[in-house]
């Protein structure tokens, strides 16, 4: 197949700006038109992004690369491109955005214009993060993303605690980003010292052979930023608050895409830039991931609020992703990457579903429901499918990811795999129990008797998600084959690393730290 000869990535990244401009020129009252513009913008953007998948060649190289000098005196360039790791994440983003816009049709009622502008702006920054190959550019998109999300929670969130949640989200993420900024600068100056060239270009920085102690500290600097974003245990407490207070659309995009930034960052930066440190920290990261899996599941058992429950289930699922990533082998990484997509689809769908009953009943407390399967058969069916996907039923997407991750983890260290597998039991427990309390039994509250089943608009929101839930479950190779070369390239690097030497180097660093203190 021949190549695409136009800057497709820039088009996809900045296309939502067209929508923003158009919406800016509409009358404030004309909410209907604004929503349609936003919807078509995101949908067209999704269609434009499809060629990425079809023209993508199954190699490890960065593709659709564009590079323009931006601030040459500082070695900053506008450099974008994607490989097997970011391809699916870009597509996931463009895929979820039209769904989100369609979901806000009845959900968002005031300041619609601002809301849509905010959302489209968010899309720009999200796609930008996944495409950027220049550290400076990456950091800009990374921080840009924070603002619209902060506003989504602050302005359109649930009134009670939205200020607290929004500020917590903002400051927490910001604190991590600062560490990363320092890390980026250290890398920048170190590169200049060694090669004499001042550059933020990721591809050039990747060629650096960093000494171990530098890798050690940089891993931590980047790692904290990403671990907060994932979020990994024990940096997770902002997530339930943010999810609970955010509007439905905010939760969907937060779970669907924003949380992937952290895991993506680990794969893109920590794993490729600091391989020795990654090997050294592997066990720690895996243990934190496993704690996340089990701890998150335990938290789910006792939640009373549906959204909080799903938020904690995200902690558990992303624990799986991190475990897969830090298994540092083919199966683990493939599973981790596919699980990122899976989590975006299933958890996104779960938040949509919760949003739909919230619109009808204006509550998310589990105790307020019960017996909904009777008045809402269609909802019950779709909710069941998504629940099953979330608990990793074979034949649906969740299983593929979890299975690959667990195989990878088991190969890395047998007890990683065994402990992670207990998460599978717990997942069935908390999800099915939640489903039972919401859907089964007799209708106990009379408000629940007359609620209406899903309307066609709502069904059509969920169907595309379910199509992919099934597709990935039945034929994951469509997607796995795209990422395989890129993952292989990372894994090859790790096969050469001598674990013992790394451990020795790590012990030396610890000695130095202790020596300085005493």
Partner 1 sequence: MKYVWLIVFFPFLGFLINGFFGRHFKREVVATIAACAIGLAFVCGIYTLFDLLKLPPHSRVVEVVYFDWIKAGKLSIPAGFLIDPLTMVMVLVVSGVSFLIHIYAGEYMEEDPGYVRFFVYLNLFVSMMLTLVMANNFLLMFVGWEGVGLCSYLLIGFWFEKDSASNAGKKAFIVNRVGDFGFLVGMFIIFSAFHTLNFREVFEKAPEMFTVGSTTITLATLCLFLGATGKSAQIPLYVWLPDAMEGPTPVSALIHAATMVTAGVYMMARCSVLYALAPFSLGVAGTIGALTAVFAASMALVQVDMKRVLAYSTISQIGYMVLGCGVGAFAAGIFHLMTHAFFKALLFLGAGSVSHALAGELDIRKMGGLYKKLPITHITFLSATLAISGIIPFAGFFSKDEILFETFIGHHYILYLLGIVGALMTAFYMFRLYFIAFHGESRVDPEVEKHIHEPSWRMALPLCVLGILSLIGGWIQLPFFHNLKILGGFLEPVFHHAHEIGGMEHGTEVGMWLEGALMALSLVVALMGICIAYNFYIKNPELPKRLAEKFVGLYTLLFNKYYIDELYQKIVVRPLYNLSLGLSYVVDQHIIDAAVNGTGKGMVYGSSLLRRVNTGYVQFYGLIMFIGAVVVLLVNIF
Q: Which residues bind partner 1 (CB under 8 A)?
A: 168, 171-172, 234, 236-238, 295, 298-299, 301-303, 329-331, 334-335, 371, 373-374, 388, 393-395, 399-400, 403-404, 406-407, 410-411, 414, 417-418, 421-422, 424-425, 428-429, 432-433, 436, 439-442, 475-477, 480-481, 484, 487-488, 491
Structural contact between residues 83 and 206, judged by C-beta atoms closer than 8 angstroms: no
d(CA 357, CA 190): 54
In the complex with partner 1, the residue whose CB is nearer, 50 or 171, is: 171
In the complex with partner 1, the residue whose CB is nearer, 361 or 411, is: 411
Instruction: Supply the minimum distance, in Å, between the C-beta of residue 460 and partner 1.
Output: 16
In the complex with partner 1, the residue whose CB is nearer, 43 or 432, is: 432
Half-sphere exposure of 378 (CA within 13 A, CB side): 14
In the complex with partner 1, the residue whose CB is nearer, 331 or 346, is: 331
In the complex with partner 1, the residue whose CB is nearer, 68 or 171, is: 171
Instruction: Supply the minimum distance, in Å, between the C-beta of residue 477 and partner 1.
Output: 5
Structural contact between residues 252 and 96, judged by C-beta atoms closer than 8 angstroms: yes
Structural contact between residues 375 and 451, judged by C-beta atoms closer than 8 angstroms: yes
Question: Which contacts (CB < 8 Å, 24+ apart) does range 138-147 have?
Answer: 138/202, 139/177, 139/180, 139/181, 139/184, 142/177, 142/180, 142/261, 143/177, 145/258, 145/261, 146/170, 146/173, 146/174, 146/177, 147/121
Instruction: Supply the minimum distance, in Å, between the C-beta of residue 418 and partner 1.
Output: 6
Angle between the 330-361 and 377-390 helix axes, to the nearest 10 degrees?
A: 150
Instruction: Supply the minimum distance, in Å, between the C-beta of residue 382 and partner 1.
Output: 13
Instruction: Supply the minimum distance, in Å, between the C-beta of residue 26 and partner 1.
Output: 40
Instruction: Supply the minimum distance, in Å, between the C-beta of residue 480 and partner 1.
Output: 6
* 201 SS3 class: strand
d(CA 271, CA 219): 9
d(CA 288, CA 487): 23
Q: Which are the contacts of 124, defined by CB distance < 8 A and separation ≥ 6?
A: 13, 14, 16, 17, 144
Instruction: Supply the minimum distance, in Å, between the C-beta of residue 143 and partner 1.
Output: 20
In the complex with partner 1, the residue whose CB is nearer, 49 or 331, is: 331
d(CA 131, CA 144): 14
In the complex with partner 1, the residue whose CB is nearer, 147 or 421, is: 421
In the complex with partner 1, the residue whose CB is nearer, 89 or 480, is: 480
Instruction: Supply the minimum distance, in Å, between the C-beta of residue 61 and partner 1.
Output: 20
- For 457-476, the DSSP string reads HHHHHHHHHHHHHHHHHH-T
Q: E-strand spans in 115-212?
A: none
Q: What is the DSSP letter of 446?
A: G
């Amino acid at each position: 197949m021949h190549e695409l000869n136009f800057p497709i990535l820039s088009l996809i990244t900045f296309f939502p700006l067209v929508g923003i401009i158009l919406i800016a020129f509409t009358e404030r009252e004309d909410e209907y038109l604004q929503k349609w513009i936003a919807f078509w913008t995101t949908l067209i953007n999704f269609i434009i992004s499809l060629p990425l998948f079809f023209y993508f060649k199954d190699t490890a190289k960065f593709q659709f690369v564009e590079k323009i000098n931006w601030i040459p005196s500082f070695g900053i360039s506008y450099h974008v491109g994607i490989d097997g790791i970011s391809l699916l994440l870009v597509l996931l983003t463009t895929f979820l955005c039209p769904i989100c816009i369609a979901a806000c049709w009845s959900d968002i009622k005031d300041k619609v214009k601002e809301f849509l502008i905010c959302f489209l702006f968010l899309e720009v920054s999200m796609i930008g993060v996944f495409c950027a190959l220049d550290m400076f550019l990456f950091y800009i998109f990374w921080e840009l993303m924070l603002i619209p999300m902060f506003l989504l929670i602050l302005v359109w969130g649930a009134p009670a605690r939205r200020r607290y949640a929004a500020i917590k989200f903002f400051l927490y993420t910001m604190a991590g980003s600062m560490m990363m900024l320092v890390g980026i600068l250290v890398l920048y100056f170190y590169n200049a010292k060694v090669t004499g060239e001042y550059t933020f270009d990721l591809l050039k920085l990747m060629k650096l052979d960093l000494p171990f102690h530098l890798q050690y500290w940089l891993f931590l600097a980047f790692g904290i930023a990403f671990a907060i974003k994932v979020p990994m245990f024990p940096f997770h407490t902002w997530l339930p608050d943010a999810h609970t207070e955010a509007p439905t659309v905010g939760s969907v995009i937060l779970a669907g895409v924003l949380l992937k930034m952290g895991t993506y960052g680990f794969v893109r930066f920590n794993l490729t830039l600091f391989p020795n440190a990654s090997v050294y920290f592997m066990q720690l990261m895996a243990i934190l991931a496993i704690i996340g899996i089990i701890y998150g599941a335990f938290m789910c058992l006792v939640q009373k609020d549906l959204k909080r429950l799903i938020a904690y289930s995200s902690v558990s699922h992303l624990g799986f992703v991190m475990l897969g990533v830090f298994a540092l082998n083919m199966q683990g990484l493939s599973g981790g990457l596919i699980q990122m997509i899976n989590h975006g689809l299933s958890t996104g769908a779960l938040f949509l579903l919760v949003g739909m009953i919230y619109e009808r009943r204006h509550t998310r407390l589990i105790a307020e429901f019960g017996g909904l399967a009777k008045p809402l058969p269609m909802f019950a069916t779709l909710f069941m499918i998504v629940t099953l996907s979330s608990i990793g039923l074979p034949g649906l997407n969740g299983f593929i990811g979890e299975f690959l991750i667990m195989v990878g983890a088991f190969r890395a260290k047998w007890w990683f795999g065994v402990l992670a597998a207990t998460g599978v039991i717990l997942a069935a427990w908390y999800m099915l129990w939640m489903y039972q309390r919401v859907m089964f039994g007799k209708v106990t509250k009379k408000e629940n008797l007359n609620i209406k089943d899903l309307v066609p608009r709502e069904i059509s929101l969920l169907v595309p998600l379910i199509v992919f839930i099934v597709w990935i479950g039945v034929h994951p190779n469509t997607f796995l084959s795209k990422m395989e070369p890129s993952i292989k390239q990372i894994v090859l690097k790790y096969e050469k690393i001598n674990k013992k030497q790394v451990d020795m180097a790590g012990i030396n660093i610890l000695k130095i730290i202790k020596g300085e203190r005493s």
